[in-house]
């Protein structure tokens, strides 16, 4: 009987065709370009590549990227927790509207997101003159880059947590409260452990995008070398100046950051079933 096919199982030829298509697609669109990045970066030898990511401008761009991610991720963790808590645990009017709003950064072009901030905070923008009077720089400075990155990445944590919290309902929180736990204690002892894996997953994705964002940041940054250049912007500048080794070396570093993120994510998925006692 073991040779009988399950009713929903495809015949062997179909499996082979589908797997081959997927494999070809992944190799040509993902893996080959990735290899190219590392190949181009080391075309003039490893020392040249290392030199390219160690010069002053490159180091400044790496630092700025890390700072941006370090501000953006905690902010979006806080926002994501609040938003998903509100959506999952409270009833209020305009809830569907809020859920749609959270998705906005996914559906709008990052360039538009950047332009919004220019329009609001730029020299010719609504608050431009006031900001100029008070000597506060947002556009073409670090605050603008952070704002644009926050805008682009804020759905990641919230999107991950909302379905999780909705599925879990409020019974466990109510049980905790009825046993005398304070609101804060309930959050730390009951809610947070129940969503920790989802939260971590959201943080990883949010971090990856925060480091890699190009469009929105490009609009508000002003491309000042050593000051407002993040790594993706630095790559573009080097490339436009025909410094291919430099461009690909920084790009390779970005790729490595992304790969580390993905490996962490894969490890999480491996670890998750054992360390979480499971659903009931």
Residue 136 structure tokens? 């506060």
Window 35-54: residues binding another protein (CB under 8 A): none
**Residue 195 beta carbon to another protein: minimum distance, rounded to whole angstroms:** 10
Q: Pick the closer one to another protein by CB: 36 or 166.
A: 166
Window 143-172: residues binding another protein (CB under 8 A): 171-172
Q: Is 3 in the site for another protein (CB under 8 A)?
A: no
Which of 66, 86, 190, 227 lies at the binding interface for another protein (CB under 8 A)?
190
Q: Pick the closer one to another protein by CB: 186 or 229.
A: 186
Secondary structure string (H, E, C) spanning 14-42 = HHHHHHHHHHHHHHHHHHHHHHHHHHHHC
Q: Pick the closer one to another protein by CB: 42 or 189.
A: 189
**Residue 279 beta carbon to another protein: minimum distance, rounded to whole angstroms:** 7
Nearest Cα residue to 114 out of 236, 210, 218, 213: 218
**Sign of torsion over alpha carbons 123, 129, 134, 138:** negative
Cα separation, 218 vs 203, whole angstroms: 23
Which of 57, 99, 137, 189 lies at the binding interface for another protein (CB under 8 A)?
189
Beta-carbon contacts of 130 under 8 Å, excluding residues fewer than 6 positions away, are none
Q: Is 276 in the site for another protein (CB under 8 A)?
A: yes
**Residue 182 beta carbon to another protein: minimum distance, rounded to whole angstroms:** 7
Cα separation, 234 vs 26, whole angstroms: 27
Beta-carbon contacts of 217 under 8 Å, excluding residues fewer than 6 positions away, are 68, 114, 145, 148, 149, 230, 232, 233
**Residue 196 beta carbon to another protein: minimum distance, rounded to whole angstroms:** 9
Q: Is 277 in the site for another protein (CB under 8 A)?
A: yes
Q: Pick the closer one to another protein by CB: 31 or 175.
A: 175
Q: Pick the closer one to another protein by CB: 241 or 269.
A: 269
Residue 226 structure tokens? 């050593």
# chain residues binding another protein, by CB under 8 A: 21
Q: Pick the closer one to another protein by CB: 13 or 90.
A: 90
**Sign of torsion over alpha carbons 248, 251, 256, 259:** negative
Count of CB atoms situated within 10 Å of the CB of 200: 17
Which of 132, 193, 262, 273 lies at the binding interface for another protein (CB under 8 A)?
193
What would the x/- binding string for another protein be over residues 168 to 187, using CB under 8 A?
---xx-xxxxxxxxx--x--
Q: How far is CA 127 from CA 109, 122, 124, in A?
A: 23, 7, 8
Residues that bind another protein (CB under 8 A): 171-172, 174-182, 185, 189-190, 193-194, 276-280
């Amino acid at each position: 009987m073991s040779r009988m096919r399950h009713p929903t199982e495809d015949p062997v030829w179909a499996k082979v065709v589908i797997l081959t298509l997927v494999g070809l697609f992944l190799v040509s669109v993902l893996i080959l370009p990735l290899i190219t990045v590392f190949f181009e970066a080391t075309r003039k030898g490893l020392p040249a590549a290392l030199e390219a990511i160690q010069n002053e401008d490159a180091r400044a761009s790496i630092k700025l990227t890390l700072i941006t991610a370090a501000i953006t991720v905690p902010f979006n963790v806080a926002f994501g927790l609040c938003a998903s808590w509100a959506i999952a645990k409270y009833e209020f009017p305009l809830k569907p509207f809020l859920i749609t709003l959270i998705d906005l950064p996914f559906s709008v072009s990052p360039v538009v997101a950047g332009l919004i901030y220019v329009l609001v905070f730029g020299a010719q923008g609504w608050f431009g003159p006031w900001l100029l009077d008070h000597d506060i720089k947002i556009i073409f400075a670090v605050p603008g880059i952070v704002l644009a990155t926050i805008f682009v990445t804020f759905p990641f944590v919230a999107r991950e947590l909302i379905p999780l919290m909705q599925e879990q309902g409020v019974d466990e929180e109510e049980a905790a409260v009825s046993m005398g736990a304070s609101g804060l204690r309930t959050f730390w002892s009951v809610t947070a452990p129940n969503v920790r894996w989802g939260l971590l997953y959201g943080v990883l994705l949010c971090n990856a995008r925060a480091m890699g964002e190009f469009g929105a940041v490009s609009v508000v940054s002003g491309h000042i070398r050593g000051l407002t250049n993040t790594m993706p912007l630095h790559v573009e500048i080097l490339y436009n100046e025909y410094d291919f080794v430099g461009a690909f070396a920084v790009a390779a570093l970005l790729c490595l950051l992304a790969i580390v993120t993905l490996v962490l994510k894969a490890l999480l998925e491996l670890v998750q079933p054992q360390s979480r006692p499971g659903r009931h």
